[in-house]
Amino acid sequence: MTRSIAVLVFACFVMVGHSQAESAAPAAYTAKCQMCHGATGLGDTPAGKAMGARPFKAPEVVKESDADLLAIIKNGKGKMPAFAGKLNDAEMTSLIAYIRKLQ
């Protein structure tokens, strides 16, 4: 279920148009994720490096399912803070779609 929603959101991104979809990060990403994971998801910010955030396109992250990513965003992992209660389901779904795009 979550997966099909993510696919749908991703399809919308693609349909919005290539140039726009290419650079458009969800507002929640810019506000809450970018300081650690970086604009392109490489984890190459000072905070990301200090905490050991992996690039989203690392093979270990690519092979995680959408449900795994959702659980990490909700519950946190290691030094990654939990976002349950801070983001709604639609925001989390769009973040997963964006992570997939960065991969």
- Residues near ligand HEC (CB under 6 A) are 32-33, 35-37, 47, 51-54, 61, 69, 72-73, 77-81, 83, 95, 99
Contact between 97 and 10 under an 8 Å Cβ cutoff? The reply is yes
In the bound state with ligand HEC, the residue whose beta carbon lies nearer, of 17 and 76, is: 76
Closest distance of CB 41 from ligand HEC, Å: 9
Cβ partners under 8 Å of residue 89, min gap 6: none
Closest distance of CB 19 from ligand HEC, Å: 24
d(CA 76, CA 89): 15
In the bound state with ligand HEC, the residue whose beta carbon lies nearer, of 17 and 89, is: 89
Q: Which residue lies nearest ligand HEC, judged by its C-beta?
A: 78
Contact between 103 and 61 under an 8 Å Cβ cutoff? The reply is yes
Closest distance of CB 23 from ligand HEC, Å: 17
Q: For residue 60, what are the CA distances in angstroms to 34, 66, 93, 103?
A: 20, 13, 20, 11
Closest distance of CB 13 from ligand HEC, Å: 15
